Amino acid sequence: MKPENKSLLKKFLICFGIAAAIVFIVIWIKGFFTDNASSNIAILADAFFVSGILFTLFAGMLFVSGEGALIGIGFVLRNVLLAFIPMGRAKHELYADYRERKLGGAKQRKYNFVLITGLIFLSVGIIFTIIWSSFYNSPSV
């Protein structure tokens, strides 16, 4: 197996392990084995949904951060901090220079494994929600 594939497999396994730990924690907190089948399926749906949505949102934040969307916030906070330091304004630089310095040496990293793991767990949570909704959540007439 190629070293790149081993590295990617290791990243997937770590993400799956963390997501599975989140699922286990949610199942444990909600008391999975104490209720009936309807409650257990609802708990599974909640657990997989929470894990999947956390990983999907985390992948989105990694993407936004990697594209430089948060650089402006860092620039503003740096200038506010420098305003309160004596002689801090002497270190002032333009936003274009600051952005070029921050993005200049950074290479684009791919975090597809986080997104794929999140989407898998999210889809399992949606499947459990559909099962619970169709079999156990019948509307009362």
- Burial class of residue 138 (count of CB atoms within 10 Å of its CB; 0-12, 13-18, 19+): exposed
Task: Round to whole Å and give the CA distance between 107 and 109.
Answer: 6
> How crowded is residue 83: how many other Cβ atoms within 10 Å of its Cβ?
10
pLDDT digits (tens, 9 = 90+) for 27-49: 999 988 777 888 899 999 999 99
> What is the model's pTM?
0.78
pLDDT digits (tens, 9 = 90+) for 75-123: 888 888 888 888 766 777 888 888 888 777 666 778 899 999 999 999 9
Residue matched to tokens 């599974």:
44
pLDDT digits (tens, 9 = 90+) for 47-74: 999 999 999 999 999 888 877 778 888 8
